[in-house]
A and B are shown apart, each in its own frame.
Chain A
Amino acid sequence: MTATAPPGPPLWLLAELTYRCPLHCVFCFNPLDFAAHADELSTADWLRVLREGRALGAVQLGLSGGEPLLRDDLETIVAEARRLGFYSNLLTSGVGLTPARARALRAAGLDHVQLSFQDSTREMNDFLSHTKTFDLKSRVARLIKDEGWPMVMNVVLHRLNIDHVDRIIGMAHELGAEYLELANTQYYSWAHLNRAHLLPTHEQLRRAEECAERWRERVGDRMRILFVAPDYHEGTAKRCVNGWGSTLLNVAPDGVALPCHTARMLPGAAFPNVRDASLRDIWFESEGFQRYRGTGWMKEPCASCEHKERDLGGCRCQAWLLAHDARAADPVCRLSPHHALVTAAVARAGTDAAVEHPLVFRDASNSNRLSRSAAPG
């Protein structure tokens, strides 16, 4: 590995508080074997992680999961984050957010709640007919407004819901969202397992983007709509979390520290655990955080590519999942020797040949089964 400039601070600390979750989303980015990592950090461990992260210069704190509301010490963690000067973001489905809990989190200093639409694939009719989903979301949206939090909604798009994006945006508008993130599924973990069901066609994507653009013209600044395009369809790689070990420090529920939330799947030595090492040592010294930092680890075609500083070789997990080589160019890049795997998957999207097995829902029994077998991805 060639020497690179020392990294700046991990500005963004992502605390995955638990893998427990009341939902079973088929696109979940938690590891397939999440059920094997159920030994959660204690409250005291998390408070120490926050203090060490803040001392390193971390400023944004994501509280994620699983469903972070399932941790009954969430208010304690938020209060410490506020005291330390973090801007705290709760990433939640809203399931379990009662008025009392919302008030307590506000009092503890929580800055922002990002409300995600839960997966709709199991109850598509309910979702589309605005009944249970809409009731839950409007109740939670009202709580968010009552507490004075900015109203940010996130919807993960895939082939089974993307044709309904007009209605989805309409729901967000009706709920008073100020920001709406339409995030196309990224194909790791459960989403990769279910890719044949979830990958949209080029035509579906084009229509969805046009629809988002019509809404932008209609609502202007009242609701800002961010459309995150899927890299499978674009032919260009994106930086992994703004560069491996450059900005994000992710701590998984069992204390494993990761440069991105899916990196645990990669081959090689195990990533360090906050139970054994300080965040400072993990960030600056650990092999895991240095492994793909900068450009020195690259092989061809990345090593001599004019775009290597822009995309930093793209996503290591995607290289591993598709090319079975974590140092390969991200296969979504049209310069990758494995790019044909991606174009073939997109070409198959929406055809009968695409579906090899039924949708696999993210739950503990599937996770245990997949951990036992040599799981795909």
Chain B
Amino acid sequence: MTAAPDTVARIGSGFRLQWEPAQSCFVLLYPEGMVRLNQSAGEILRRCDGQRDAAAIVADLEAAFSTSGLEGDVLAFLDMAHRQRWLDWARTP
């Protein structure tokens, strides 16, 4: 199921997102492994709290970074992250 503006995502089971001062980035931890996230991936994933839907996350990011037109990129990232099991869908349309 592909992500839509009213998709609600949360960090996938078995994964943990955290900020690593030693690496100056967000990382996603999973059994015996780690994904180092670039800034935009980290900023999206930290907002995937199982409460806000994708539209709210897009609005929040656009406000935080004084920009617009992020919806396409955010939805594409959510799809990719879901395929990698980084995200579970908490609620889908």
A111 to B31, CA, bound (A): 8
The one of B13, B14, B20, B29 that contacts A57, using a Cβ cutoff of 8 Å: B20
Question: Chain B 54-76 against A: per-residue CB contact (8 Å), 1 yes, 0 no?
Answer: 00000000000000000000000
Residues of B32-69 contacting chain A, CB below 8 A: 32-34
Asked whether, in the complex, the Cβ of A89 is within 8 Å of the Cβ of B34, the reply is: no
Q: Does A271 contact B (CB under 8 A)?
A: no
Is A215 part of the contact surface with B, judged by Cβ < 8 Å?
no
Complex CA–CA separation, A275 to B41 (angstroms): 41
A315 at the interface (CB under 8 A from B): no
Inter-chain CA distance A114–B31, complex, in Å, is 8
Contact A152 B31 (CB under 8 A): yes
> Nearest-CB distance from B92 to chain A (Å)?
18
Contact B32 A57 (CB under 8 A): no
Name the contact of B13 in the complex, choosing from A89, A114, A150 (C-beta under 8 A): A150
Chain A's nearest CB lies how many Å from the CB of B70? 29
Contact check, A56 vs B16: say whether CB atoms are below 8 A apart: no
Q: A283 at the A/B interface (Cβ < 8 Å)?
A: no
Task: Assess whether A85 is interfacial by the CB under 8 Å rule.
Answer: yes
Q: How far in angstroms is the closest Cβ of chain B from A122? A: 28
Residues of A with C-beta under 8 A to B18: 85
Mark A76-107 against chain B: 1 for CB-CB distance below 8 A, else 0.
Answer: 00000000010101000000000000000000
Instruction: Name the prevailing secondary structure of the B interface residues.
Output: strand
Residues of B within 8 A of A114 (CB): 31-32
Cβ-based interface call for B22 (8 A): yes
B residues 1-44 in Cβ contact with A at 8 Å: 13-14, 16, 18, 20, 22-23, 27, 29-34
- Nearest-Cβ distance from residue B60 to partner chain A, whole angstroms: 25
Which residue of chain B is the closest to A56 with respect to CB atoms? B22
The CA of A152 and the CA of B14, in the complex, are separated in Å by: 11
CA distance A34 to B34 in the complex (A): 31
A301 at the B interface (CB under 8 A): no
Residue of B nearest to A85 (CB): B18
Indicate whether A259 reaches chain B with its CB closer than 8 angstroms: no
Q: What residues of chain A lie closer than 8 Å to B31, measured between beta carbons? A: 89, 111-112, 114, 150, 152, 179
Most chain A beta carbons < 10 A, residue from B14, B16, B20, B34? B14
- Min CB distance, B74 to chain A, in Å? 24
- In contact, B13 and A59 (Cβ under 8 angstroms): no
A374 to chain B, nearest CB (A): 36
- Shortest distance from the beta carbon of B66 to any chain A beta carbon, whole Å: 31
Q: Which residue of B lies closest to A62 (CB)?
A: B32
A11 vs B35: C-alpha distance when bound (angstroms): 12
Bound state CA distance, A235 and B31, in angstroms?
29
A148–B14 CA distance with the chains assembled, in angstroms = 8
Inter-chain contact B13/A148, CB cutoff 8 Å:
yes
Assembled-state Cα–Cα distance A355/B30 (Å): 41
Residue from B22, B23, B32 within 8 A of A89 (CB atoms) = B32
18 A-B pairs whose Cβ atoms sit less than 8 Å apart in the complex = A9-B22, A9-B23, A11-B34, A57-B20, A57-B22, A59-B20, A60-B29, A60-B32, A60-B33, A87-B16, A87-B29, A87-B30, A87-B34, A111-B14, A112-B30, A112-B31, A112-B32, A150-B31
> Which of A's residues lie within 8 Å of B, judged by CB?
9, 11, 56-57, 59-60, 62, 85, 87, 89, 111-112, 114, 148-150, 152, 179
List 16 other contacts, CB 8 Å, given A57-B22, A150-B31, A179-B31.
A9-B23, A56-B22, A57-B23, A59-B20, A59-B22, A59-B29, A60-B34, A62-B32, A85-B18, A87-B16, A89-B31, A89-B32, A111-B29, A112-B32, A114-B31, A150-B14
